Chain A
Amino acid sequence: MRGGTLGTAALLRLALRLDRVRLAVWVLAIAGITVGGASSVAELYGTPESRAQLAAGVGGNPAYRAMVGPPFGLGEIGGVVAWRVGFFAALLVAVMSVLLVVRHTRAEEQAGRVELVCAGVVGRRAPLAAGLLLLLGANAVIGLLCALGLLGLGLGAAGASALGLAVAGTGCVFGAVAGLTAQLTENARTASGAASCVLAAAYLLRAVGDSSEATWLSWLSPLGWAQQVRSFADERWEVLALPLVATLVVSAAAFALAARRDVGAGLLPTRPGRASAGGSLRGPLGLAWRLQRGSLVGWTAGAALGGAAVGSVAGGIGDLVADSPQTVRLLEQLGGVGGLVDSYLALATGVLGIVASAYAVQAALRLRVEETDLRAEPVLATGVTRTSWITSHLLPAFGGSALLLTAAGLCAGLVHGIAGGDVAGQLPRVLAGALVQVPGAWFVGGLAVLLFGAVPRLTALAWAALTAFLVIGQLGALLQLPEWLVELSPFTHLPRVPGNEVTAAPLLWVTGIAAVLVVAGVWTFRRRDVG
């Protein structure tokens, strides 16, 4: 039985049963967003003239290249779809795949349920095999649905298949990476965090590669591969071998590690610790800080790195654009090269705002994790009031998201300033662009707190809301979403900085609503049962 995959089929059925609703929502949402986005693109860029305009305008814009990748074949509707929607689908599917694989491997193991299963007639590699098969199946279905949907819109069969395969392939690569990180650490959150770091690195490599002369960098990124398939623009099928080989190699490595370690253990060894608590482990805040600090440091470092990448790309935009007199003229109508750089920076800091919101949600929902893992009870059975317990976790969540954006804004401003030789001028503008996002992150964090207090079983809705805000922000105009829906996102109301005036009113409003959400969350938590 050693090293075997016996029982994989049974585990796969169990995983499907456990995850049927969540997985179906993910699959349908991603396929729906892709096909819906494609349909809007087809409508918006239905005429050759409109596509030519697009190609002449934003098509060559390095800011857009950095954000969503290089365009291929903008002359056809399919090319626009692949550029504008395909990349976003690949990104979503990567996030889904990381969460999916960790949820079915390390998270189950951490909860002790794999031990129960492995005591039965189940091979040592079966849990990982089942998780990866589920990954493969989910991505295959998404790829198929996307391809069929695009065919249904009247786009070419070759391009639709290529796009479907490229999206599915991206999901498989990042899912396999998560399968590998799940073997390394004992903690599910660390495993998904490490895989997410790989995803972030892939995004950055591609962003830098696509917007600079160093195009080879994009070839190091699985997100870049999806684009280099060039769906609807003379498909390069051979590029699809890259995700295939990467998935196989990374999966093989994960299986090799899985067979070498104990159930429940990671590969990184544990050392004996302190026999008694240090002075800082005192009171609920000391505990919350101890529990949250590792994650905060990791997120802050990631945000700082992301900020630096944003800043390093920004400077190059003006240079590249200036090559083409036609675009320069077009841009001058939009406010000149400076205006272009500013709108890129505002767009990029908006993405950093979403990242900070994700941290705020994760840190705030630590409350729910503590509760369901029965660790809230021992604390609340001591002299700690419910209010002080909840507050102890909200400080890292809310302070941390502000810290994250400060770090990202400082790094982006510094790098951009140094590149342009104007640190004193650029740093405050870029930093302001990052800091105006803080109320948005607090709003989403506040939503998580309210859900935790009022409907603790539905705290996952906070993630759904964040995803919705992301879609509204990134694809709102493209999907032609109704005005009221776009207005629902707090990020819609934040000033676009740099490039616009910082107005206090929307910042105060969003902060105020966030505060109301938090207070309502604490109030409802004080009145409900724990556990």
Chain B
Amino acid sequence: MTDAISASGLVKTFGPTRALDGLDLTVRTGEVHGFLGPNGAGKSTTIRVLLGLLRADGGETRLLGGDPWRDAAALHRRLAHVPGDVSLWPTLTGGEVIDLLGRLRGGLDTTRRDELLERFELDPRKKSRTYSKGNRQKVALVAALSSDVELLLLDEPTSGLDPLMEAVFQDCVNEERARGRTVLLSSHVLAEVEALCDRVSIIRAGRTVETGTLAELRHLTRTSISADLAAPPRGLAGLPGVHDLHVDGGRVRLEVDTDHLDAVLRRLVDSGVRSLTSRPPTLEELFLRHYEHERVGAR
């Protein structure tokens, strides 16, 4: 099966700023792909290049087997997009906007639309200008999810939703995956990406810094350990893979590269463990770690 999205070496400059600086992104057909990066990293710019709204200055992009700039309108019939900043026509009602966007895309499933309206608890009779940010986002989500398309491009779709609606959204994405649809989910809500995504790409300053499954990425990172020991530990600092070691009498806090966990635990047991908490790396730490690396590397 071909990849739904393959981009390599994408470059996009706006005047003196290089928004995309050789970005690579591969999204396999049928997967939910997390697209992570801090604000200004280039997530939205990438999606807008994929939509043919921006023309890349360099690099290769294929989207659903076509060229996103040249074949824009034809490709758009096969995908749906939820922008990060949803702006609607103030005089149209939410229901009208949903139907309009569906029709412009070539038709929508009205049963699915009504079901989604109910699940997202959205009143389609209100004029768009009266909707809050979260409700505007729901309008865009319902319009996208009730279209019969192969690919969903979601740009921080939950930034205005409350936790209940966030759960509804996650259910919906899982349903889309079950139907064999491909999803590119840009986000900086890491818990959401952890819960939903098969694979993740992390970008920074317009460049891809990490791509892989969560398990693969975790392997590259560290576990946090804090322990109360019977006696002060010895020789911890000399062990390979130990970072951020804090020792205060019998209390120990440290982080360890996952590969070196074994040796550290053995040393702790030697000093008599009273209590121990160990936390696997969250995506968040993975994320932060990466930027730390970058900063160190830059020095």
Interface residues of A (CB under 8 A from B): 186-187, 270, 272-278, 281-284, 286-287, 290-291, 373-375, 377-386, 527-531
Give Cα A386–Cα B55 distance, bound, in whole angstroms. Answer: 14
Task: Name B106's contact: one of A187, A273, A374, A383 (CB within 8 Å).
Answer: A383
Task: Name B104's contact: one of A283, A375, A377 (CB within 8 Å).
Answer: A283
Chain A CB within 8 A of B81 CB: yes
**Does A531 lie within 8 Å of B48, measured CB to CB?**
yes
Give Cα A290–Cα B129 distance, bound, in whole angstroms. Answer: 16
**Does A374 lie within 8 Å of B85, measured CB to CB?**
yes
Task: Name A275's contact: one of B53, B87, B91, B93 (CB within 8 Å).
Answer: B93
For the complex formed, measure the closest distance between the CB of A17 and the CB atoms of chain B, giving whole angstroms: 23
Chain A CB within 8 A of B218 CB: no
**Does A375 lie within 8 Å of B89, measured CB to CB?**
yes
> Which residues of B lie under 8 Å from residue A529 when comparing CB positions?
53-55
For the complex formed, measure the closest distance between the CB of B84 and the CB atoms of chain A, giving whole angstroms: 10
Chain A CB within 8 A of B241 CB: no
Which of B68-76, B166-174, B193-201, B286-294 lies at the interface with chain A? B68-76
A/B interface sample: 7 pairs, CB < 8 A: A276-B95, A277-B98, A282-B103, A378-B140, A381-B76, A382-B76, A529-B55
> Which residues of A lie under 8 Å from residue B104 when comparing CB positions?
283-284, 287, 379, 382-384
> Which residues of B lie under 8 Å from residue A186 when comparing CB positions?
90, 129
For the complex formed, measure the closest distance between the CB of B54 and the CB atoms of chain A, giving whole angstroms: 5
For the complex formed, measure the closest distance between the CB of A115 and the CB atoms of chain B, giving whole angstroms: 12
**Does A276 lie within 8 Å of B53, measured CB to CB?**
no
Interface centre among B48, B104, B130 (most CB of A within 10 A): B104
Chain A interface, DSSP helix/strand/loop, else mixed: loop
**Does B76 lie within 8 Å of A275, measured CB to CB?**
no
For the complex formed, measure the closest distance between the CB of A383 and the CB atoms of chain B, giving whole angstroms: 4
For the complex formed, measure the closest distance between the CB of B124 and the CB atoms of chain A, giving whole angstroms: 5
Task: Name B73's contact: one of A274, A282, A377, A385 (CB within 8 Å).
Answer: A385
Chain A CB within 8 A of B214 CB: no
Interface centre among A273, A287, A375, A381 (most CB of B within 10 A): A381
For the complex formed, measure the closest distance between the CB of A2 and the CB atoms of chain B, giving whole angstroms: 24
> Which residues of A lie under 8 Å from residue B54 when comparing CB positions?
529-531
For the complex formed, measure the closest distance between the CB of B148 and the CB atoms of chain A, giving whole angstroms: 13
Interface residues of B (CB under 8 A from A): 48, 51-55, 72-74, 76-77, 81, 83, 85-93, 95-96, 98-101, 103-106, 110, 123-127, 129-130, 140
> Besides A273-B96, A375-B89, 13 other CB < 8 A contacts?
A186-B129, A273-B126, A275-B93, A277-B95, A277-B98, A277-B100, A374-B87, A375-B88, A381-B53, A381-B76, A385-B73, A386-B72, A530-B54
**Does B127 lie within 8 Å of A273, measured CB to CB?**
yes
Give Cα A133–Cα B267 distance, bound, in whole angstroms. Answer: 75
Given A282-B103, A382-B104, A383-B104: A273 in contact with B93 (beta carbons within 8 A): yes
**Does B89 lie within 8 Å of A274, measured CB to CB?**
no
**Does B100 lie within 8 Å of A281, measured CB to CB?**
yes
> Which residues of A lie under 8 Å from residue B86 when comparing CB positions?
378
**Does A270 lie within 8 Å of B89, measured CB to CB?**
no
> Which residues of B lie under 8 Å from residue A382 when comparing CB positions?
76-77, 101, 104-106
> Which residues of A lie under 8 Å from residue B89 when comparing CB positions?
287, 290-291, 375
Given A270-B130, A276-B95: A383 in contact with B105 (beta carbons within 8 A): yes
Give Cα A286–Cα B96 distance, bound, in whole angstroms. Answer: 12
Interface centre among B52, B88, B99 (most CB of A within 10 A): B99
A387: nearest chain-B partner, CB-CB: B73
**Does B124 lie within 8 Å of A275, measured CB to CB?**
yes
Given A287-B100, A375-B89: A383 in contact with B130 (beta carbons within 8 A): no
> Which residues of B lie under 8 Å from residue A187 when comparing CB positions?
90
Give Cα A274–Cα B55 distance, bound, in whole angstroms. Answer: 37
The 10 closest A-B pairs by CB, nearest first: A277-B99, A382-B104, A374-B87, A273-B93, A381-B81, A272-B125, A383-B77, A277-B96, A385-B73, A275-B95
For the complex formed, measure the closest distance between the CB of B209 and the CB atoms of chain A, giving whole angstroms: 25
Give Cα A278–Cα B93 distance, bound, in whole angstroms. Answer: 11
**Does B53 lie within 8 Å of A277, measured CB to CB?**
no
Give Cα A291–Cα B128 distance, bound, in whole angstroms. Answer: 13
For the complex formed, measure the closest distance between the CB of B294 and the CB atoms of chain A, giving whole angstroms: 28
**Does A275 lie within 8 Å of B125, measured CB to CB?**
yes
Give Cα A384–Cα B106 distance, bound, in whole angstroms. Answer: 10
> Which residues of A lie under 8 Å from residue B129 when comparing CB positions?
186, 270
> Which residues of A lie under 8 Å from residue B73 when comparing CB positions?
383-385
